[in-house]
Amino acid sequence: MYKHLEPLSEEELKELEALKQEVKFHPAEGYRRRVGANGPNALSRYNVAKWFNWTHDQRETYRTKFPKPLQRKILQGWFLELPRGTGFLDVMNYWVGKPMSGSVVCTAMKDQTIHLDCKPIKVKRGQQIAFHLSTLHELKASKEGQLWACIMFFGCPMEQTD
């Protein structure tokens, strides 16, 4: 189950892109790497910039690019970059059947595809998509690579994003 949200304006996207240039990305390695359904046989490959390492002003700028009802409920925010041709997130099934897990809103920084419950969902540049983490989710490798701006919060994304 997922929900498309109102897309960001071109100005909001430019502000996010400028912020992306200010923050430091790290390759996901070791214990910081997200492990999916295929465990060590398909270790996800991506770069991430989490807001715990950002300034207060950077976090506040980022926060305003997500739906108002969620802005004070955000637990964490991050940019997720999948390198061209090689970057991917293995299918995540850990949260399936765990209704107390969080929800995410992901902003596409360019036209790209996310797989939810094994179905490809196209998300255009600037569009936001919300889903509960108990939904199977995956990002497959692509020639173009991918770039997302994401937040996590507790609650049902279908009820709190309008």
pLDDT reported for residue 100 = 86
Question: Could you report the per-residue pLDDT of 88-128, keeping only the tens digit for each?
Answer: 999 999 989 888 889 999 999 999 999 999 999 999 999 99
pLDDT reported for residue 157 = 76
Q: Which CATH superfamily is domain 2-154 in?
A: q2cbj1_9rhob like domain (2.60.120.620)
Question: Could you report the per-residue pLDDT of 53-85, keeping only the tens digit for each?
Answer: 999 999 999 999 999 999 999 999 999 999 999
Higher pLDDT, 128 or 158: 128
pLDDT reported for residue 125 = 97
Cβ neighbors of 67 (< 8 A, separation 6 or more) are 5, 6, 105, 128, 160, 161, 162
Higher pLDDT, 35 or 78: 78
Percentage of the chain lying above the pLDDT 70 cut: 98
